[in-house]
Amino acid sequence: MNEQRLMKVILAPLISEKSSGVSDKNNQYVFKTVVDATKAEIKAAIELLFSVGVTKVTVANVKGKVKRFRNKEGKRKDWKKAYVTLKAGQEIDLLGGADFS
């Protein structure tokens, strides 16, 4: 796989209550990815960017919502969500070592 492609596969980490719960319980992290990314590309990208071992990748295609503004109706973009399970004992610091105390 091309390293330039792998750098563009992961768009952003998803930080929410659900992703925090999954992270604590199952050692999984949730990322927003490009729509045409494959599981193998996502795995290689995470291993390249964060230097961790990935055991499993699960993806979910999220359909964009239909929204209305005055008389016009529009649709948000479809996107892909990736749940990445890491090997035991490894973690990703998504907050960059921030201290909130």
pLDDT beyond 70 at 99: no
Integer CA distances (angstroms), 49 to 46, 52, 71, 73, 79, in order: 5, 8, 44, 39, 21
13-27, pLDDT tens digit by residue?
A: 999 999 889 888 898
Report whether pLDDT(94) > 80: no
Give the mean pLDDT of 46-51.
Answer: 93
Summarised one tens digit per residue, pLDDT across range 5-14 is: 999 999 999 9
Q: Is the pLDDT of residue 41 over 90?
A: yes
Fold observed for domain 3-86: Alpha-Beta Plaits (3.30.70)
Domain segments of the chain as ranges: 3-86
Whole-model pTM?
A: 0.85
> Where do runs of H (alpha helix) occur along the chain?
3-9, 17-26, 39-50
Residues contacting residue 39 through CB under 8 Å, at least 6 positions apart: 57, 59, 82
Torsion of CA 75, 77, 78, 80, to 10 degrees: -150
